[in-house]
Amino acid sequence: MKVRYQYRIYPTPQQVKGLNQLFGCCRVVYNDALAIVRSVPQGEKWPSNAELQKLVITQAKKTAEREWLADVSVVPLQQSVQDLGAAFKNFFESRSGKRKGPKVGFPRFKKKLNQQSARFVRTGFSLKGNKLELAKLGRFKVRWSRPLPSEPSSVTIIRNTAGQYHASFVVEISPINIEPLRPSIGVDLGIKTFAFLSTGDRVESPGYNRLDRKTRRFQRKLARQVKGSKRREKTRLRLAKLKLKTANIRKDFLHKTTTQLIHENQVVVLEDLAVKNMLGNRKLARAISQQGWGTARTMCEAKANRVNDREVRIISRWEPTSQICSDCGFRWGKVA
């Protein structure tokens, strides 16, 4: 099975300039391809990915407006058009009902201030010792927090809104064998306490209140500042770093919690919560979104596939589990 291993990279000032140019080229190619598709009259056939690559990359390089596309590697530009094709596939499968989960909207144009990325396949990158070499960009210093389990098939270079750079490798792994401590466990997710376990234990989530107060203060400050000013950009960067810190704390907590649940229990039972509907409650929306219930479920399901003989079961949100005795099955009604 394929998984992602992500590492922090530290480009030099010259490499930062090259990466920013690459991100801009990928964004322009994606937007140009999307503009071509949107301009096709209704009822006519859309161009294929190969035709789009020829129009927005090969032929565009010969024009004065897009000749600078030749300054970067062609591999991530081709992958950018492939990403647009995947976005359209997800959109149509979501409309037809083949794709599960929330509805996927029509692809939108990429923006400069959002997270930027560029993907290289095997023809565009290589590992030279402890460094990552990218086509036309040179070798990058990587902080290897853990070794790669196998040879990567692709790598995505990511720049988040806080200005940090990461390399996300796609590698192949095999499921592992771990002896479970218990046959099954039930998990009831909450707000004040992240989870109540059927064993009687509680899982407390980290406190986000202090970071949340600072985030809201900087959001108010950002709203008052003049768009395009240097001070506003400085505030935006500090706000992005605060949000990133909160997200990293939550991600670390969820990874550790879900890993423990999967490793110690053969079957993990979760409730099918309508998180999107629950966020409509304006008094609880912030507290619910901070807990990351949907991410926890996704992590449990993904990690269950990495360990042999593990299963994640989802029960209906309408199942009256609190009204039924777990021993004899007698239902006594609503709990006061």
Lowest mean pLDDT among 91-105, 161-175, 217-231, 317-331: 317-331
Residues 156 and 224 occupy one common structural domain: no
Choose among 266, 254, 255, 257: nearest CA to 177: 266
Q: Does residue 334 sit within a domain?
A: no
Residues 194 and 145 occupy one common structural domain: no
Q: Does residue 330 sit within a domain?
A: no
Q: Is 107 left (phi over 0), alpha (psi -120 to 50) or beta?
A: beta
Residues 186 and 168 occupy one common structural domain: no
Residues 168 and 208 occupy one common structural domain: no
102 — pLDDT class (breaks 50, 70, 90)? confident
DSSP result, 104-138 = PPPP----SSS-EEEEEEGGGEEEETTEEEETTTE
Choose among 111, 113, 91: nearest CA to 103: 91
Residues 8 and 132 occupy one common structural domain: yes
Residue 54 has pLDDT above 60, yes or no: yes
Helices H, strands E: what count in the chain? 8, 12
Residues 241 and 273 occupy one common structural domain: yes
Residues 124 and 160 occupy one common structural domain: yes
8-state DSSP, 45? P
pTM (2 d.p.):
0.87
Q: Which whole-number Å values give the CA distances from 107 to 83, 263, 276, in the listed order?
A: 10, 38, 21
| Rounded Cα–Cα distance for residues 236 and 162 (Å) | 9
Q: Does residue 116 sit within a domain?
A: yes
Q: What is the pLDDT of residues 194-211, one digit of tens each?
A: 999 988 899 999 999 999
Q: How many domains does the chain have?
A: 2
Residue 8 has pLDDT above 70, yes or no: yes
Domain region containing 119 = 2-172
313 — pLDDT class (breaks 50, 70, 90)? very high
107 — pLDDT class (breaks 50, 70, 90)? very high
Q: What is the pLDDT of residues 20-35, one digit of tens each?
A: 999 999 999 999 999 9
Q: Does residue 331 sit within a domain?
A: no
* CB neighbour class for 293 (10 Å; exposed up to 12, middle 13-18, buried from 19): buried
Predicted local distance difference test score (pLDDT) of residue 101: 77
